[in-house]
């Protein structure tokens, strides 16, 4: 993880645990997608996934899910959109052949963020409309307001094997 690429100080201040966890910026800011889409896979950068806005570049499978921020709704979202299931046991540990998502909630139990674990165990997050980052600990973007809160649920699916194309 390249930790030389950092957020501006004013953005770092929103995430008090980030610096200690080790992190690096991996993209430029892009308002087209958010953490919820990014956590489902790096190919999901064409829409901002949210239950609260309809149309105009926003996505939500409204015919299948309620428009709320309950943990149960987001578990179902990731099941529908990516084949994720709840982790049992509910832990962040890196497991061979398994891709994980962490769901974060605020003190009211509303989902605020999602992060995805990469094959090397490093977590990746999209910070709202800001940059994508890698962070060494799942707790790096967690913490009290204004950070994303507490991780309450891990989801998992078999990690897709990327095939090298012949040239």
Give the model confidence (pLDDT) of 91-133 as tens digits.
Answer: 999 999 999 999 999 999 999 999 999 999 999 999 999 999 9
Name the percent of the chain lying above pLDDT 70: 95
Give the pair of three-digit tokens for residue 6: 């950092």
Question: What confidence category does residue 54 fall into, taking pLDDT thresholds of 50, 70 and 90?
Answer: confident
Classify the C-alpha dihedral 5-10-13-14 as positive or negative: negative
32 within 8 A of 131, measured Cβ to Cβ: no
Quote the distance between the C-alpha of residue 123 and its chain's center.
8
Domain extent listing, the chain: 15-158
Please list the residues that pair with 155 across neighbouring strands.
86, 101
Question: What confidence category does residue 163 fall into, taking pLDDT thresholds of 50, 70 and 90?
Answer: low
Helix (H) or strand (E) holding 21: helix 18-21
111 within 8 A of 60, measured Cβ to Cβ: no
| Other beta carbons within 10 Å of 11 | 17
Question: What confidence category does residue 166 fall into, taking pLDDT thresholds of 50, 70 and 90?
Answer: low
What pLDDT score was predicted for residue 161? 65
What pLDDT score was predicted for residue 1? 67
pLDDT at 164 over 70: no
Q: Quick one: average pLDDT of 149-157?
A: 97
Give the model confidence (pLDDT) of 4-24 as tens digits.
Answer: 899 999 999 999 999 888 999
What pLDDT score was predicted for residue 146? 73
């Amino acid at each position: 993880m390249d930790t030389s690429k950092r957020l501006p100080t004013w953005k770092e201040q929103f995430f008090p645990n980030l610096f200690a966890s080790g992190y690096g910026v991996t993209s430029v800011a892009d308002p087209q997608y958010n953490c919820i889409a990014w956590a489902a896979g790096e190919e999901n950068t064409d829409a901002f996934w949210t239950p609260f806005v309809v149309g105009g570049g926003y996505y939500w499978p409204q015919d299948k899910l309620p428009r709320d921020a309950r943990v149960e709704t987001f578990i179902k979202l990731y099941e529908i959109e990516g084949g994720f299931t709840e982790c049992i046991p509910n832990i962040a540990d890196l497991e061979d052949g398994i891709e994980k998502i962490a769901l974060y909630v605020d003190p009211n139990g509303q989902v605020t963020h999602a992060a995805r674990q990469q094959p090397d165990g490093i977590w990746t997050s999209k910070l709202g409309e800001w940059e994508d980052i890698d962070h060494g600990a799942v707790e790096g973007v967690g913490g009290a307001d204004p950070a994303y809160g507490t991780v309450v649920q891990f989801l998992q699916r078999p990690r897709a094997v990327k095939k090298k194309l012949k040239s």
